[in-house]
Amino acid sequence: MGLDIQSEIDVVKVASSKINQVDFENLAFGNVFTDHMLMCDFKDGKWERPTIKPYEPFLLDPSAKVFHYGQAIFEGMKAYKDDNDDIWLFRPDENLDRFNKSATRMAMPEVPEHIFIDGLKEILKIEKEWVKKGLGNTLYIRPFMIAIGTGVIAQPSTQYRFMIILSPAKSYYSGEVKVIIAEHYSRAANGGIGAAKAAGNYSAQFYPTKLANDQGFQQIIWTDDATHTTLEEAGTMNVFFRINDTLYTAPTSERILDGVTRKSLIDLAKREGINVAVQPVLVSEIVEAAKNGSLKEIFGAGTAAVVNPIVGFSYQDVYYELPKTENSIALELKEKLTNIQHKLAEDTFGWTVKV
């Protein structure tokens, strides 16, 4: 980028790291954070100088707009360490691009690359000990932006805070995932904010998901809100269906998040000679395929779990169990993708970026 990053970011380091208190073998997702965080405020129409400083609580006014109007967006990414102790990112430009699309939809300012990407690289260099080697070990990266301007009038804030926090993660095994197809609740409206990683989209799912959990299902497969006839996402992941040897997944839309994992899996599958059909997927087609035995697999795709195989689904009070597959496309693609991410396989796509 031609910028001298060091001189663009203020760095205040912790007196002593807490890394030795962390049990890296027993990490729950997203509740341990590294020693530092990146913080950068937007004020008077421009971004101030970013600071990397000790991870700690910060003060906000009770009338901050994020509390009242949910003006907040985020991203989810990972850093990986290879055998040479180099640290890698996976398609970070995609996350920056999506973050700024989310920002626009939420009437927030875009975050420039030199803050988002260069800031991220800088904090990763400082936290390099927190990225552990070995397949499945990653450092989960959470960039986010919140409206910190004050006042309870329902209007966009004029002040924002961009932050990056980091949380070490183990490979994510979610147990047997059974899902229920949404017949009443929904995740996104036409003309709404479903395609943005806007904070409010996620809390909106908590209650319906709790109801699903109470019925013994770990996740909901979301359908379109108007007719509940097309399948859109699984929980907070994109979703794929394998019928015979073809993978089906919905095209992205203003109701569906344009997932980096989804698009990478599509490219990988195509390279492997697997048929991929990106087209609206009807509930009726999947039920029919489950009945006649042609439905082989369903899986979610997202940064946290990479690929999340689903063992069965419920629709209109009938539970459809999927067959056990000998050669799972889900697991094959997951392995191929994680090998690229961890630099264990050649990255012919040019997806990985060295920190």
- The interface with ligand PLP within residues 68-127 (CB under 6 A) comprises 76
Q: How far is CA 140 from CA 33, 101, 136, 163, 353, in A?
A: 9, 21, 11, 14, 16
Distance CA 222, CA 44 (A): 40
Q: Which helix (H) or strand (E) holds 167?
A: strand 160-169
Q: How far is CA 157 from CA 50, 98, 126, 197, in A?
A: 19, 21, 32, 18
Q: Work out what residue 237 binds among a copy of itself, ligand PLP, none; the CB cut-off runs from 5 to 8 Å by kind.
A: ligand PLP
Count residues binding a copy of itself (CB under 8 A). Answer: 70
> Which listed range, 79-87, 236-244, 327-335, 340-348, lies at the site for ligand PLP (CB under 6 A)?
236-244
Count residues binding ligand PLP (CB under 6 A). Answer: 14
Q: Work out what residue 198 binds among ligand PLP, a copy of itself, none; the CB cut-off runs from 5 to 8 Å by kind.
A: a copy of itself
For residue 78, state whether it binds a copy of itself (rule: CB under 8 A): no
Interface with a copy of itself (CB under 8 A), residue from 17, 150, 252, 253:
150
Q: Work out what residue 189 binds among a copy of itself, ligand PLP, none; the CB cut-off runs from 5 to 8 Å by kind.
A: a copy of itself
Distance CA 136, CA 241 (A): 24
Distance CA 338, CA 262 (A): 13
Structure tokens at 289: 């395929």
For residue 334, state whether it binds ligand PLP (rule: CB under 6 A): no
Q: How far is CA 355 from CA 21, 125, 127, in A?
A: 26, 7, 12
Interface with ligand PLP (CB under 6 A), residue from 166, 257, 283, 298:
257
> Which listed range, 178-186, 206-214, 259-267, 271-279, lies at the site for ligand PLP (CB under 6 A)?
259-267
Nearest approach, Cβ of 146 to ligand PLP (angstroms)?
17
What DSSP character marks residue 144? E
For residue 12, state whether it binds a copy of itself (rule: CB under 8 A): no
Residue numbers of the site for ligand PLP (CB under 6 A)?
A: 76, 197, 233, 236-238, 257, 259-262, 301-303
